[in-house]
Structure 1
């Protein structure tokens, strides 16, 4: 039985919720429904914000968008599941690409997936889960996406997903380590080569400060981070790491 459904027969007590979505309107919508049900809701606009929130907040339930900037829903789900406190916490995936991309909730390590359809329909689906929380752990719901029957695939979305998949394949196939971080120098993506070079699992790499990787002060300029990372006896191998580092300005 997948970890996501391990608590099927356990009494359910949901009090705190973390909702993660880069759409502020969707966050307001989720907050309204969940607070109306008596739950305490904290929101996060992306994966980085969610990781920071988890340092001081312990949710009993997660609502996570799949497609987001600064660590997407899939990566965030892995980070959440890597923490002992959330091994079996229910995760509800909220997806705007359910019609274009097959979603396996068990493979994702999530419990339920809800398609982003009309707000009235989404509210009905969410309320069903809140009225009977045991549904969150019901394996019968594996691979079922609530509301997808009301959607039609969009060509432009399918094309963008294909392009993104090709881009990801190319990065994953490269022997050079590539680390992407935001304006706060927090890592938001890393390819397999970078994980091998630093010997750090993706769950720990994402959201960490880039200075931690190069073992220098967090206020050092980027050039210092690069220079400090070059061992004197590894002039050939080390540059492959930092020449691929990208600093995103937002």
Structure 2
């Protein structure tokens, strides 16, 4: 039976490159364009290996790894980070649940690393994976990328330390980001919040009210209502919504 692989990357060229490479090696492959799409795929497709990009819209690769690791049916899946930012800073990929990391580089070099890593995985030879980023010799550090990553981390620290609970949603109402206060407010683990529908956090008596407000915010961009009392996790909070 073919081993199954899921490739998660927001670049169509990378999806096609990886799918072609892996199918040629005899794997069954599915692709997803971001974390939300990956979670949708995982409802019916149970891969043996997942390749994940780090910087993606709608749930980052790091958050996706944590979500996957929280799923009981995914406890043995082999997760490989495939990222172009591997050279720009220390990457503790094992810390967020990944098993190995390959730096994105020239396609021929990257192909060799992907195939070699999968060959070792199939043989059960996993020694040294967590301590090494494969392919680092084929890429150069880019100062502009380091600066952008530093700015991104700075903004994340600011949002994480805000007194308000912050939920970021897709246009369909799925949660793609929560800060620490939002997690505490909901009483639900971050890994379970991400990818779920925001309206499901509320009791039935608030459900229609929240749905109507979200719909009106979509129709009228930049609408904010900061004075709507709603119940969440047996607590009354004031809901503000901005589109």
- The TM-score normalised by the length of structure 2 is 0.86
Check conservation: 1:90, 1:111, Cα contact below 8 A: yes
Shift of 1:139: 3.7
User: Which segments of 5 or more consecutive residues in structure 1 lack a partner in the other structure?
Assistant: 1-12
1:220 corresponding residue in structure 2: 211
Distance (Å, rounded) in 1 between the aligned partners of 2:143 and 2:124: 32
Check conservation: 2:175, 2:195, Cα contact below 8 A: yes
2:194 corresponding residue in structure 1: 206
Matched, 1:230 2:218: no
Matched, 1:140 2:131: no
Change (3 A) 1:199 1:157: same
Distance (Å, rounded) in 2 between the aligned partners of 1:142 and 1:151: 19
Distance (Å, rounded) in 2 between the aligned partners of 1:228 and 1:181: 18
Change (3 A) 1:52 1:150: same
Distance (Å, rounded) in 1 between the aligned partners of 2:94 and 2:122: 16
- Give the length in aligned residue pairs: 229
Matched, 1:25 2:13: yes
Matched, 1:157 2:148: no
2:220 corresponding residue in structure 1: none
Would you identify which runs of 4 or more consecutive aligned residues in structure 1 move more than 4 Å? 134-137, 223-229
2:114 corresponding residue in structure 1: 126
Matched, 1:169 2:160: no
Check conservation: 1:211, 1:218, Cα contact below 8 A: no
Check conservation: 1:113, 1:144, Cα contact below 8 A: yes
Shift of 1:219: 9.1
Check conservation: 1:60, 1:89, Cα contact below 8 A: yes
Check conservation: 1:181, 1:210, Cα contact below 8 A: yes
Matches of residues 73-84 of structure 1 in structure 2 within 5 Å?
Answer: 73-84=61-72
Change (3 A) 1:61 1:217: farther
Change (3 A) 1:151 1:141: same
Shift of 1:108: 2.4
- The TM-score normalised by the length of structure 1 is 0.84
2:53 corresponding residue in structure 1: 65
Distance (Å, rounded) in 2 between the aligned partners of 1:34 and 1:202: 32
Check conservation: 2:83, 2:104, Cα contact below 8 A: yes
> Which one is further off, 205-214 or 216-225?
216-225
RMSD of Structure 2 on Structure 1 (CA): 2.5
User: Which segments of 5 or more consecutive residues in structure 2 lack a partner in the other structure?
Assistant: 217-224
Distance (Å, rounded) in 1 between the aligned partners of 2:133 and 2:100: 7
Check conservation: 1:47, 1:69, Cα contact below 8 A: yes
Distance (Å, rounded) in 2 between the aligned partners of 1:218 and 1:24: 38
Change (3 A) 1:159 1:217: same
What secondary structure is seen at the aligned counterpart in 2 of 1:88?
coil
Larger relative contact order, structure 1 or 2 (CA cutoff 8 Å, min sep 6): 1
For residues 66-96 of structure 1, the C-alpha deviation after alignment (integer angstroms, 9 at most, x for no partner) is: 1100000000000000001111210010011
Check conservation: 1:92, 1:111, Cα contact below 8 A: yes
